[in-house]
């Protein structure tokens, strides 16, 4: 075998995003290769989450026959044309076991005959002209473009004096018997922290979960990375006075104290008063970040959000390294804690959009579109918002677009990232466009400020077209001309998420379009 391989596009990582990218490249007949450090696809899921229960929804029985609708409640499947390659066929569990994901990803790679090289760890990326990638075996790979899909593979370690005394989430024991009778501090207030706390409720004597800021619950914020109900059993033990607590503050320092540790906690709600608390164990569960160490200085991507993620353009390209693209959870810097690019059910559509961007940019293949008669635009929009899974999952981030030419003809384009849509139209990448409509599904302003279960907050009637209840998902249609917003229309929120009513939905939309 030659010690050097040349390919048009190199994909680094054979997790969900890398496999999704490879599938789309292969279907388009593009020359590419996938490099994976592990022995099989989805290596990340062989270790994480540590307690092996995924919090991504796997709803098998929906009552729908429409595969597009089913993807609204299937958060694990990759996009493909094969109905046998749906994750829902691998397990009936609503919150699946991580091993099911490993099995699914392995089958996805094999059954699609994707060009993956396993046990191939990238150790360096340089760019003398094309990208040059070297693996641990000394093999080199040349490529015009790279799609990095390595995930957030390195633990995020906050700047805490004595943080080295904490046991990282990635390595700490998951056997609750190892904590019997102990007083435990868990630093971090995300799902990994509460997953760990729940595991210790029956054995630890005291558990404190600590972190700055207000604790945010996913059912209220609609961001699935905030604390999920499946992991919040610990909150009951706190509020019902069972020796556990959530500490709102910063950890100022950790130091050894005999067999245990003294931890300085700076409490936010009492003007940063510092209290020293003794613990038997300290666990660090502060999340993960992107590892950029493989990139040489000539092509090292700029990072953002506390250096945790690559800084990206609207086309998921590094802001400072042309030709270096990203896919998967590491693209969440584009909609950080606002939408779902950090999760399979979001980034699978992001990868498909990235593929279309690259097809247009590198191969002259126009974004898929269909002609629509001006008088049929309202019906086309209604049909899509009642079915689309992409706009449903990537709310406020992904849009359908109706492109109106100077001669009045219209084209319907599906699933364009909102920011890219505006830039691409301005650059003329969608051809003759006099004005355009952007169709999104969105929650309203301040949707996370009101408890949706508080009946004193009231709600708008589902037959009332005069106002909107921003706590609930609803379609928004915006009209743009020369990059400027010139009109906006909302379809009324309703419990069924069906916008077919002639009087309530269709007629007002037609009036807006006129």
Separation CA 343–CA 75 (nearest Å): 8
Contact in structure between 243 and 206 (CB atoms under 8 Å): yes
Place of tokens 């496999």: 19
Query: Is residue 194 within a helix (H) or strand (E), and if so which, with residue range?
Result: helix 191-200
Please tell me whether residues 306 and 167 are part of one structural domain. no
This prediction has a pTM of 0.94
The encoded tokens of residue 459 equal 């709600």
Place of tokens 């054979």: 14
Please tell me whether residues 147 and 294 are part of one structural domain. yes
Please tell me whether residues 272 and 177 are part of one structural domain. yes
Separation CA 332–CA 428 (nearest Å): 27
What lies within 8 Å, CB to CB, of 39 at 6+ separation is: 118, 119
Query: Is residue 134 within a helix (H) or strand (E), and if so which, with residue range?
Result: strand 131-135
Please tell me whether residues 305 and 247 are part of one structural domain. no
Separation CA 200–CA 21 (nearest Å): 39
pLDDT at position 468 is 58
pLDDT at position 463 is 56
pLDDT at position 291 is 94
Please tell me whether residues 495 and 376 are part of one structural domain. yes
The encoded tokens of residue 38 equal 């592990």
Separation CA 223–CA 227 (nearest Å): 9
Out of 286, 302, 327, a domain closes at 286
pLDDT at position 450 is 78
pLDDT at position 459 is 65
| Euclidean distance between the first and the last CA atom of the chain, given in angstroms as a whole number | 64
Burial of 162 (0-12, 13-18, 19+ CB in 10 A): middle
Q: What is the DSSP letter of 318?
A: B
Please tell me whether residues 302 and 431 are part of one structural domain. no
Instruction: State the virtual CA torsion across 272, 276, 279, 281 in degrees, nearest 10.
Output: 60
Separation CA 150–CA 120 (nearest Å): 13
pLDDT at position 488 is 94
Give the count of domains, the chain.
3
Q: Which of 229, 218, 222 is nearest to 443 (CA)?
A: 222
CATH code of the domain covering residue 190: 3.50.50.60
pLDDT at position 18 is 98
Q: What is the DSSP letter of 317?
A: B
Query: Is residue 370 within a helix (H) or strand (E), and if so which, with residue range?
Result: strand 369-372
Q: Give the long-range contacts of residues 502-511, CB within 8 A, separation 24 or more.
A: 504/462, 504/463, 504/465, 505/382, 506/378, 506/379, 506/382, 508/465, 509/378, 509/381, 509/382, 509/477, 510/378
Out of 332, 347, 363, a domain closes at 363
Please tell me whether residues 9 and 144 are part of one structural domain. yes
Expressed as residue numbers, the domain containing 376 is: 369-513
Give the bridge partners for 440, in sequence order. 476
Please tell me whether residues 126 and 269 are part of one structural domain. no
Separation CA 99–CA 16 (nearest Å): 14
pLDDT at position 461 is 59
Separation CA 422–CA 430 (nearest Å): 10
219 Rama class: left (phi>0) / alpha (psi -120 to 50) / beta: alpha
Please tell me whether residues 466 and 418 are part of one structural domain. yes
Taking only Cα atoms into account, the Rg of the chain, rounded to an integer number of angstroms, comes to 25
The angle that helices 16-27 and 344-363 make with each other, rounded to 10 degrees, is 40
3-state class of 333 per DSSP?
helix
Out of 334, 363, 392, a domain closes at 363
The encoded tokens of residue 239 equal 């509020």
Place of tokens 């191939």: 120
Give the bridge partners for 267, in sequence order. 249, 273
Separation CA 354–CA 21 (nearest Å): 9
Whole-angstrom CA distances from 101 to 6, 41, 90, 222, 326 are 31, 10, 8, 24, 22
The encoded tokens of residue 337 equal 């804690």
Outline where 333-417 has alpha helix (H).
344-363, 377-385, 390-393
Please tell me whether residues 493 and 415 are part of one structural domain. yes
Please tell me whether residues 306 and 374 are part of one structural domain. no
Angle among Cα 38, 332, 211 to the nearest 5 degrees reads 95
Separation CA 285–CA 199 (nearest Å): 14
pLDDT at position 472 is 79
Average pLDDT per consecutive 10 residues, the chain (514 residues; last block may be shorter): 86 98 98 97 93 94 96 97 96 96 98 97 96 96 97 90 95 96 96 95 97 91 91 92 92 95 90 89 95 95 95 98 97 94 96 98 96 96 96 97 96 98 96 97 84 74 56 90 93 80 90 91
Separation CA 477–CA 41 (nearest Å): 40
Outline where 427-485 has alpha helix (H).
none
Separation CA 356–CA 374 (nearest Å): 26
Please tell me whether residues 342 and 487 are part of one structural domain. no
């Amino acid at each position: 075998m030659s010690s050097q391989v040349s390919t048009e596009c190199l994909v680094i990582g054979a997790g969900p995003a890398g496999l999704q990218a490879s599938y789309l490249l292969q279907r388009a007949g593009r020359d590419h290769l996938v490099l994976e450090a592990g022995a099989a696809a989805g290596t990340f899921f062989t270790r994480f989450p540590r307690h092996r229960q995924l919090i991504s929804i796997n709803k098998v029985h929906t009552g729908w026959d429409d595969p597009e609708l089913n993807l609204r409640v299937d958060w694990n499947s990759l996009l493909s044309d094969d109905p046998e390659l749906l994750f829902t066929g691998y397990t009936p569990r609503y919150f699946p076991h991580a091993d099911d994901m490993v099995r699914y990803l392995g089958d996805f790679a094999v059954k699609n005959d994707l060009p993956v090289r396993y046990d191939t760890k990238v150790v360096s990326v340089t760019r003398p002209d094309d990208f040059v990638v070297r693996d641990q075996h000394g093999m080199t790979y040349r490529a015009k473009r790279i799609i990095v899909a390595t995930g957030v593979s390195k633990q995020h370690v906050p700047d805490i004096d004595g943080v080295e005394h904490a046991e990282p989430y990635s390595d700490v024991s998951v056997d609750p018997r190892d904590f019997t009778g102990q007083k435990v501090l868990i630093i971090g207030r995300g799902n990994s922290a509460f997953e760990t706390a729940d595991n210790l409720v029956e054995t630890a004597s005291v558990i404190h979960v600590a972190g700055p800021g207000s604790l945010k619950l996913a059912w209220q914020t609609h961001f699935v990375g905030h604390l999920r109900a499946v992991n919040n059993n610990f909150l009951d033990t706190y509020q019902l006075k069972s020796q556990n607590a959530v500490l709102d503050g910063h950890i100022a320092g950790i130091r050894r104290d005999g067999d245990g540790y003294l931890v300085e906690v700076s409490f936010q709600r009492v003007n940063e008063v510092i209290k020293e608390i003794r613990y038997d164990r300290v666990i660090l569960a502060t999340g993960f970040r992107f590892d950029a160490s493989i990139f040489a200085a000539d092509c090292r991507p700029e990072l953002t959000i506390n250096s945790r993620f690559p800084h990206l353009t609207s086309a998921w390209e590094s802001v400072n390294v042309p030709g270096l693209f990203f896919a998967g959870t590491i693209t969440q810097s584009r909609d950080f804690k606002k939408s779902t690019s950090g999760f399979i059910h979001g980034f699978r559509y992001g990868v498909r959009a990235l593929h279309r961007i690259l097809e247009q940019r590198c191969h002259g293949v126009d974004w898929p579109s269909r002609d629509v008669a001006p008088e049929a635009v309202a019906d086309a929009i209604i049909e899509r918002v009642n079915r689309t899974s992409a706009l449903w999952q990537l709310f406020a981030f992904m849009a359908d677009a109706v492109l109106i030419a100077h001669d009045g003809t219209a084209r319907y384009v599906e699933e364009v990232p909102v920011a890219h849509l505006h830039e691409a139209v301005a650059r003329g990448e969608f051809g003759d466009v006099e004005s355009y409509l952007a169709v999104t599904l969105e929650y309203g302003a301040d949707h996370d400020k009101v408890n949706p279960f508080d009946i004193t907050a009231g709600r708008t009637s589902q037959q009332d077209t005069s106002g909107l209840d921003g706590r609930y998902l609803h379609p928004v249609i915006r009209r743009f001309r020369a990059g400027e917003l010139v009109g906006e229309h909302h379809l009324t929120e309703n419990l069924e998420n069906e916008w077919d009513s002639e009087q309530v939905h269709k007629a007002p939309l037609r009036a807006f379009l006129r």
